[in-house]
Amino acid sequence: MAAPVLRRGCRGRLWALACVDGGSCHGRGAPTGSPSNRIRGQSSVAQQPLHTAQKPRKGEHNWAAVVGLEIHAQISSNSKLFSGSQVRFSAPPNSLVSFFDASLPGTLPVLNRRCVEAAVMTGLALNCHINKKSLFDRKHYFYADLPAGYQITQQRLPIAVNGSLTYGVSAGKERGQVIPKTVRVKQIQLEQDSGKSLHDDLRSQTLIDLNRAGVGLLEVVLEPDLSCGEEAATAVRELQLILQTLGTSQANMAEGQLRVDANISVHHPGEPLGVRTEVKNLNSIRFLAKAIDYEIQRQINELENGGEILNETRSFHEKLGCTVSMRDKEAKQDYRFMPEPNLPPLLLYDATSLPIGTDPRQVIDIDHIRETLPELPSVTRERLVQQYGMLPEHSFTLLNEVGLLEFFQNVIKETRAEPKKVTSWVLNIFLGYLKQENLAVSESPVTPSALAELLDLLDSRTISSAAAKQVCPYSLQFLTVPLSQEMFSVTPQCHH
């Protein structure tokens, strides 16, 4: 039975493990065969294939694509990065705006400790070097949703540098095998989010909501080690999981808590890198993959037809499935970076450098944070494979679905059945049922105890495996009431 992993039409459900055909996505620099191999059979998360099978092009040129990502994650904190106003989604417009957020003259930034901790945690989880001294800068540009006329960011010396993000791509040939891939993390910096502009074309006006202005962001910059949409999507998904596990960001793309910009270029292997374009504000994993692959192909087409690539910014047009040039951002911006004079350098300590007798509320100890990091997804997956003998592919699925791991572990606790059985039931039947009913794990009427009971019945051979499997998804609803052997003494009928 096909794993639900490949089920389409999921309500934006994201799967870290994307099955690919052999020959796709070999990492940068050396695609085998024609571009068609690379693009065809793309990630299962796409609604439909991006392109039909490509015929080999004239000239038989090999192309390599280079993708770099800039990911903005909203920090999960009570208040904003430099002011005390609250961070909340969907509040009435301009109801969460302090004097500082509104850029009233004379107001000054005050750094939020929780945001710094979030940055350190994320940096450690991504194997970064944490800079014990980092600096804040002003990045100037005029825009209605940027009240001060500048954004406070970390351009010269960010809080974390030189890390790595490991994600897993499934090798199609051997089911369940996962090939780990790594993308280097260039840096992580703290910066302010901007407000929101709503363009009201009817009245020729723009409405500004500053609720989001000043919310803390972690900008994670990935080196251009990725080579296609699927790799990018997978890497972003893994980052999402890490952020959610750490609690540093809810990283919900639909709510704008995670935004990705992609820098894309193509070149012939062995030749210098091509001109790159920037594709901005991709707000779902699905569109991210789609947009990147579209843009790669667009560039290849353009170059093969003798055209040239402009160093420009493009946005992804969801309905048309293509990227379009954002004309008004064509002119090169000089951001006139300047040190933020109202914020002294940010100094962090570790066990060796912590001055004796300091108030722990006044300082941040990197080592202490490292010790209190929760178990990261990669470690959890490894543990699941070791502990329960499941396939790596399964461990990915368990972690990908919000709440599924906990459900699984609760079932394990209460049942006598073998872990492999539990794994199979949870991932196939239970998850399948959820997908069909469009439910999240938290909304499931079936409790872990109920499923555990069913599995016990199975285990004691009270019901046959065939019978149990024949219980079609709808009937699982009966599991909300206590089971008794009598209920299974007759062959269950499917109800529709």
Partner 1 sequence: MLGRTLREVSAALKQGQITPTELCQKCLSLIKKTKFLNAYITVSEEVALKQAEESEKRYKNGQPLGDLDGIPIAVKDNFSTSGIETTCASNMLKGYVPPYNATVVQKLLDQGALLMGKTNLDEFAMGSGSTDGVFGPVKNPWSYSKQYREKRKQNPHSKSGDSDWLITGGSSGGSAAAVSAFTCYAALGSDTGGSTRNPAAHCGLVGFKPSYGLVSRHGLIPLVNSMDVPGILTRCVDDAAMVLGVLAGHDPKDSTTVHDPINKPLVLSSLADVSKLCIGIPKEYLVPELSSEIQSLWSRAADLFESEGAKVIEVSLPHTSYSIVCYHVLCTSEVASNMARFDGLQYGHRCDIDVSTEAMYAATRREGFNDVVRGRILSGNFFLLKENYENYFVKAQKVRRLIADDFVNAFNSGVDVLLTPTTLSEAVPYLEFIKEDNRTRSAQDDIFTQPVNMAGLPAVSIPVALSNQGLPIGLQFIGRAFYDQQLLTVAKWFEKQVQFPVIQLQELMDDCSAILENEKLASVSLKQ
Q: In this structure, what is the dihedral angle of CA atoms 259, 36, 21, 252, given to the nearest 10 degrees?
A: 10
Tokens representing 220 are 């994670």
96: Cβ contacts below 8 Å, ≥ 6 apart: 85, 86, 87, 88, 211
State the Cα–Cα distance between residues 325 and 305, nearest whole angstrom. 19
CA 344 to chain centre: 32
- Is there a contact between 403 and 440 (Cβ–Cβ < 8 Å)? yes
CB of 148 to partner 1, least distance (A): 5
Indicate the residue among 66 and 213 with the shorter CB distance to partner 1: 213
Q: Using CA of residue 242, residue 65, residue 70, residue 182, what is the dihedral sign?
A: positive
CB of 210 to partner 1, least distance (A): 8
Tokens representing 451 are 């499923």
Q: Token pair 């794993």 is at which residue? A: 3
Indicate the residue among 206 and 386 with the shorter CB distance to partner 1: 206
Indicate the residue among 333 and 489 with the shorter CB distance to partner 1: 333
CB of 127 to partner 1, least distance (A): 31
How open is the CA angle 307-287-7, to the nearest 5 degrees?
130
- Is there a contact between 313 and 329 (Cβ–Cβ < 8 Å)? yes
Indicate the residue among 89 and 99 with the shorter CB distance to partner 1: 99
CA distances from 435 to 354, 438, 473 (A): 51, 5, 10
Indicate the residue among 148 and 458 with the shorter CB distance to partner 1: 148
CB of 115 to partner 1, least distance (A): 14
φ, ψ for residue 385 (rounded to 5)? -65, -45
CA distances from 440 to 250, 252, 341, 403 (A): 16, 15, 47, 8
CB of 479 to partner 1, least distance (A): 56
Indicate the residue among 336 and 420 with the shorter CB distance to partner 1: 336
CB of 198 to partner 1, least distance (A): 13
Q: In this structure, what is the dihedral angle of CA atoms 126, 70, 21, 318, given to the nearest 10 degrees?
A: 140
State the Cα–Cα distance between residues 136 and 345, nearest whole angstrom. 7
CB of 348 to partner 1, least distance (A): 16
CA neighbor of 167 nearest in space, from 130, 126, 119: 126
Indicate the residue among 108 and 402 with the shorter CB distance to partner 1: 108
CB of 93 to partner 1, least distance (A): 13
State the Cα–Cα distance between residues 306 and 65, nearest whole angstrom. 18
Indicate the residue among 102 and 322 with the shorter CB distance to partner 1: 102
Indicate the residue among 345 and 389 with the shorter CB distance to partner 1: 345
CA 496 to chain centre: 37
Beta bridge partners of 277: 264
Q: Which residues bind partner 1 (CB under 8 A)?
A: 99, 102-111, 138, 140, 142-144, 147-150, 204-206, 208, 334, 336-338, 341-344
- Is there a contact between 346 and 352 (Cβ–Cβ < 8 Å)? no
Residue 458 DSSP SS3: helix
Indicate the residue among 271 and 334 with the shorter CB distance to partner 1: 334
Q: Token pair 């951001």 is at which residue? A: 335
CB of 337 to partner 1, least distance (A): 7
CB of 206 to partner 1, least distance (A): 7
- Is there a contact between 145 and 194 (Cβ–Cβ < 8 Å)? yes
Indicate the residue among 8 and 332 with the shorter CB distance to partner 1: 332
CB of 327 to partner 1, least distance (A): 14
